[in-house]
A = this chain, B = another copy of it.
Amino acid sequence: MKEFQLIQQIQQGLSVSAADNLQSGVILGIGDDAAVVEVPAGRHLVAATDTLNAGVHFPVATLPFDIAYKCLAVNLSDMAAMGAIPRWALLSLSLPEAGQQWVMSFIDGFNSLANNHGVVLIGGDTTHGPLSVSLTALGLVKPGMQLVRHGAKPGDLLVVSGTVGGAARVLDLLQQDADSQAGGDLKDRRLLDRPVPRVELGQCLPGYATSCIDISDGLLADLGHVLAASSCGASIVLEKLPGDEILNGLENHLKWNYQLSGGDDYELLFTLPPEHREMLNTWSHRSAVELSIIGQIEEQPGIRCTTLTGERFDPQQAGFEHFQKNDEPHGTR
């Protein structure tokens, strides 16, 4: 398949009508040297880009459907962490070879998530190279209402959505049983392959949350970014950490390691002044996701993880880190 045919196939697979474009503020979509969109008056533009490389961010055998889904999900998760409404996406796709089946499945995966959020693919690039997907998400936010990392204050509640540690556990199970890479148990793989970007939740938080980040590198690592930007510390109560049932039956230290250091969950971690605590129920209901208060922000720098009985726990590994020495290609991130 030639590049031109590939782009045509993508364009057809998206099946965006002129009416869709108009409604989405798309003045000029796929097919020119660049796309043109209308940012409505009274809105700022929010822009994020994230790349997923085969063998690094997803196992090589991952289905194209899931690769597309996940690449969009991690970018929408960035929009969510900013309190933004995602609107448009640009896709850069590097492929070793361009198979029609592969591309169809990829576009299906993209559509399955994009359509839920009214996100329109407006352009991109297809190149020959190692399998890699780079996506830029563009969204909108009211001026001054974006969520940031630097606003956490001592006394704020530390809140996390959904569950943490499940994706890392699935990845470990997959790596322990290489056979299951081809399929695996679908329900479990969803934790790794189909993270749910908390877009609705993110839009609840502006005006209330003092800081927000999405958990891509692990709870402690990402909390660390918030604390560094906000010049404060935090305490976490280990028993309050929400865990998927895939973690059931594990010894506590193993479970806590997954929850504190496992990446790829794409849940939102945010800080909330205690006077807004009663909003959590409303937001949980509105965005159909559990919200757990797992600790609080403190003046003292550093992160203190303790049990309800006051026992201290330090995880083995503080989140995923690219570019460490002896960094070998691994299954995901």
Nearest Cβ on chain B to A202's Cβ, whole angstroms: 10
A202 to B1, CA, bound (A): 32
CA distance A143 to B35 in the complex (A): 13
> A53 near B: Cβ within 8 Å?
yes
Q: Closest B residue to A53 by CB, please name it.
A: B129
B130–A53 CB distance below 8 A = yes
A41 within 8 A of B: yes
Residue of A88, A90, A213 with most chain B CB atoms under a 10 A cut-off: A90
Q: For the complex, is A148 an interface residue (Cβ under 8 Å from B)?
A: yes
**Considering the chains assembled together, what is the distance between the CA atoms of A127 and B27 in angstroms?**
33
Q: Known contacts being A44-B27, A47-B123, A132-B132, is A2 close to B324, with CB within 8 Å?
A: yes
Q: Are B132 and A94 in contact (CB under 8 A)?
A: yes
* Contact digits for A80-105, partner B, Cβ 8 Å, 1 yes 0 no: 01101000101110110110000000
Of A133-141, A175-183, A237-245, A278-286, the one with at least 4 CB within 8 A of chain B: A133-141
Contact B51 A323 (CB under 8 A): no
Which residues on the B side are within 8 Å of A56 (C-beta)?
127-129
List residues 233-259 of chain A with CB under 8 A from any CB of chain B.
Answer: none
A53-B94 in contact (CB<8A): yes
Q: How far is the CA of A150 from the CA of B45 in the complex (A)?
A: 28
Of B45, B92, B329, the contact of A49 (CB 8 Å cutoff): B92
CA of A260 to CA of B124 in the docked complex: distance in angstroms? 25
- A and B contact pairs by CB, cutoff 8 A, 12 listed: A1-B323, A33-B78, A33-B81, A34-B47, A36-B46, A39-B45, A45-B45, A47-B136, A48-B90, A49-B91, A97-B323, A128-B329
